[in-house]
């Protein structure tokens, strides 16, 4: 697993992940379960790897 998430991308993912995950506690009904996708943003930010970047050849990490 080669790291492909840069520092700025990482910070944005973690912040957005926290915001999206917090919607779980404010939304009602079935739509609130979509906010659990915030966990994916947080995890990919913490491990510096995004599996969706691989097929597209994206790498935001500086060399």
* pTM of the shown model: 0.89
Count of the separate structural domains present in the chain:
1
Q: Which pLDDT does position 16 carry in this prediction?
A: 98
Q: Which pLDDT does position 18 carry in this prediction?
A: 98
The verdict on residue 43 lying in a domain is yes
User: Which alpha helices (H) appear in 1-63, and where do they start and end?
Assistant: 7-26, 37-47, 53-56
Q: What is the pLDDT along the chain (63 residues), one digit of tens a residue?
A: 899 999 999 999 999 999 999 999 999 999 999 999 999 999 999 999 999 999 999 999 987
The verdict on residue 63 lying in a domain is no
The verdict on residue 61 lying in a domain is no
The verdict on residue 31 lying in a domain is yes
Helices 37-47 and 7-26, packing angle to 10 deg: 160
> Which residue segment(s) compose the domain that 35 sits in?
7-56
């Amino acid at each position: 697993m080669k790291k492909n998430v840069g520092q700025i991308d990482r910070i944005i993912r973690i912040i957005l992940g926290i915001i999206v995950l917090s919607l779980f506690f404010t939304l009602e009904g079935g739509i609130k379960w979509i906010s659990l996708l915030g966990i994916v943003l947080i995890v990919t930010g913490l491990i510096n790897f995004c599996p969706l970047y691989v097929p597209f050849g994206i790498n935001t990490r500086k060399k």
